[in-house]
Structure 1
Amino acid sequence: MRTSQIHRKTGETDIQLSLNIDGRGTYDIDTGCGFLNHMLELFARHGRFDLSLKCSGDSHVDDHHTTEDIGISLGQAFREALGNKRGILRYGSMMLPMDETLILCALDISGRAYLNFDVQIPTEKVGSFDTELTKEFMTALTREMGLTLHFKMLAGENSHHIIEAVFKALARALAQAAAISEEYADEIPSTKGVL
């Protein structure tokens, strides 16, 4: 089982996270931010990752530290659970429609952190959530995981739909890339021999 446990405590957040990459999509999530809970729940469900996450953060300020630090912790959890990445498919992509929205996500579990976030979110907030934090989350995740991650918005008007499609597309593409190939199960998918 490819699992990990992360405890990250700073002056701004206290996060307990457990991840099973080869799960069934079960989740128990409490970030202190309802919209972020929703995004992480659907991320777990659509990626079929088992995810337990509890965060106590300085939400009396705003949700910035909570969102960024959860991205950091989730990236660390994936990196730890993937180990040496032997046998993974490495690449994943998803073109995900959600009503009027269409999001393309393509990624490489490369060991090299890069984010291209070509997504225009029309409103500053969804509920109490600052929509610009979507990119902050993805930046933290890519940096800590060593992930090359591209998003391209091909259509979209509703901010909730756009962000939800981003998280769902990420989940599907990441599940694809992290899957073990029976054909290459004993190999590192790189000519370098490491990822």
Structure 2
Amino acid sequence: MRTATIKRKTKETDIAVSVNLDGTGASDVATGIGFFDHMLDLLARHSGIDITVKANGDLHVDHHHTTEDVGIALGQAVKQALGDMAGITRYAGVHLPMDETLSRVVIDISGRPVLVFKVEFPRDKIGEFDTELVREWFQAFAMNAGITLHVETLYGENSHHISESCFKGLARALRAAVAIDPRANGAVPSTKGQLGG
């Protein structure tokens, strides 16, 4: 089983994350931020990755540290669970609709972390959650998972729908990219024979 557990503790947050890349999409998430929990539940369900997140953060300050640090820990967990990445599909891309919104998410599990994030929100907040933190989470996740990730909302009007289409798009792209390609016969999907260099 491709699994990993990461624990991260700073003066700002105390986080424990577990993933199972070959799971059923089960989630057990508690960050203290309702909207963020909702996005992580969607990520698990639509990726087929079992995700557990327990986070205690300085929410009396704001949601920034908790959101970013969960992205760091979850990215590290996915990277660790992937191991040497032998046999994975590696590339995937999806267009994900959410009512009036359409987002495109494209991923390369390359070992070379890059985020291109072309998403605009019509509102600064979704409930109490700052919409600028969506990008912060994607940045932290991509950098620590070691993936090339392009996220673009082609159009949309509702900030909740825009965020949801991005998280669901990532989920579906991850689902395809981490899947084992039966035709690869366990080979690393690179002409160099390794990823990340």
TM range (shorter): over 0.9
Question: Helix, strand or coil for the counterpart of 1:84?
Answer: coil
TM-score (norm 2): 0.98
Q: Percent identity?
A: 55
- Distance in 2 (CA, whole Å) between partners of 1:188 and 1:152 is 28
Residues in 2 aligned to 1:89 and 1:11: alpha-carbon distance in whole angstroms: 38
Question: Do residues 108 (structure 1) and 123 (structure 2) align?
Answer: no
Unaligned runs of 5+ in 1: none
Alignment of 1:84-103 (within 5 A): 84-103=84-103
User: Secondary structure of 1:79's partner?
Assistant: helix
Residues 118-175 of structure 1: per-residue CA shift (max 9 Å, x gap): 1111110001100000000011111111110001111100000000000000000011
Q: Which moved more, 1:183-192 or 1:127-136?
A: 183-192
| 1:150 alignment counterpart | 150
- 1:130 paired with 2:139, answer no
Partner of 2:111, secondary structure, is: coil
Give the Cα separation in 1 of the matches to 2:186 and 2:88. Answer: 9
For the residue of structure 2 that corresponds to 1:122, the secondary structure is coil
Equivalent in the alignment of 1:4: 4
**What is the 5 A alignment of 1:1-195?**
1-195=1-195
Alpha-carbon distance in structure 2 between the residues aligned to 1:12 and 1:194: 36
TM-score calculated relative to the size of structure 1? 0.99
Could you tell me how far 1:185 is from its partner in structure 2?
A: 3.1
Rounded to whole Å, the distance in 1 between the matches of 2:163 and 2:92 is 19
Query: Runs of 4 or more off by more than 2 Å in structure 1?
Result: none
Aligned length: 195
Task: Report deviation, 1:50.
Answer: 0.6
